[in-house]
C-alpha cells in the first residue's frame, strides 16, 4: 500500500487519476453529499491524496484545503474524503486508509507550508471523541476538541457551515475563528 499526496497541477498522472475518481464519485447521486464532490468544490484544495491498497488500486481519496473564512495557517485535512473501493460501513476502528492518508497529509503540510493548525470537521455530532481516541491509539496522531462549532464555509446562514472540529496546533488561532456553542 502507498499513499501519495501532491499539490494539484504538479503531477499530471495523479491529477488525471484523481479527477477520474472524483468524477465517478460525483456521478453517484444516491450519496447524500454527492454535490460536495463537484469539480468546483475542490477549488480550495492545496493538496490531493490517493491511498492505494496492496494491489495498487485506489481505495481512498481526499484533499487538504484552505479557506479565507479560516484563520491564516489553518488547513483542513481529510477534506472531501471518499472511498473508491472497500466501502465497509460502521467500522469499530479508523480504517488504515484513513489513518495513512492523515499521516501523509500532515507530513505534506509540514514539508510544503507552515501550518499553524490542521483540523478535521464534520457536520454530524458525536464523532469527535471517538475519532480523537482512535487516531491517538491507532496512529499516534494527536487531536483536541472543544465545545464550539466553527464556520467551515463562507455562508454563515447555512447551518451545515457550522461544524465541530478536531484539531492540532496553535489553539490561539481558534479565538480568531468565527464560532458559536
Residue ranges per domain, the chain?
A: 2-180
**What pLDDT sits at residue 89?**
60
pLDDT mean for each 10 residues of the chain (181 residues): 95 98 92 90 97 95 97 97 74 87 98 97 89 96 96 94 97 95 87
Question: Which cell is 13 given?
Answer: 498522472
| DSSP three-state, residue 120 | strand
Q: Which CATH superfamily, name and number, covers 2-180?
A: Gcn5-related N-acetyltransferase (GNAT) (3.40.630.30)
Amino acid at each position: 500500500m502507498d499513499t501519495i499526496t501532491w499539490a494539484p497541477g504538479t503531477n499530471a498522472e495523479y491529477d488525471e487519476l484523481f479527477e477520474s475518481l472524483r468524477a465517478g464519485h460525483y456521478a453517484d447521486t444516491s450519496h447524500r453529499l454527492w454535490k460536495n464532490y463537484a469539480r468546483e468544490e475542490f477549488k480550495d484544495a492545496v493538496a490531493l491524496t490517493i491511498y492505494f491498497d496492496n494491489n495498487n488500486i485506489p481505495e481512498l481519496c481526499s484533499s487538504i484545503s484552505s479557506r479565507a473564512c479560516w484563520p491564516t495557517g489553518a488547513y483542513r485535512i481529510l477534506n472531501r474524503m471518499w472511498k473508491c473501493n472497500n466501502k465497509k460501513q460502521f467500522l469499530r476502528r479508523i480504517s488504515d486508509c484513513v489513518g495513512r492518508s492523515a499521516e501523509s497529509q500532515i507530513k505534506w503540510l509540514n514539508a510544503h507550508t507552515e501550518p499553524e493548525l490542521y483540523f478535521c470537521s464534520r457536520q454530524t455530532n458525536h464523532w469527535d471523541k471517538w475519532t480523537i481516541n482512535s487516531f491517538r491509539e491507532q496512529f499516534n496522531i494527536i487531536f483536541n476538541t472543544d465545545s464550539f462549532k466553527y464556520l467551515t464555509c463562507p455562508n454563515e446562514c447555512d447551518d451545515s457551515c457550522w461544524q465541530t472540529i478536531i484539531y492540532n496546533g496553535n489553539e490561539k488561532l481558534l479565538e480568531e475563528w468565527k464560532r458559536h456553542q
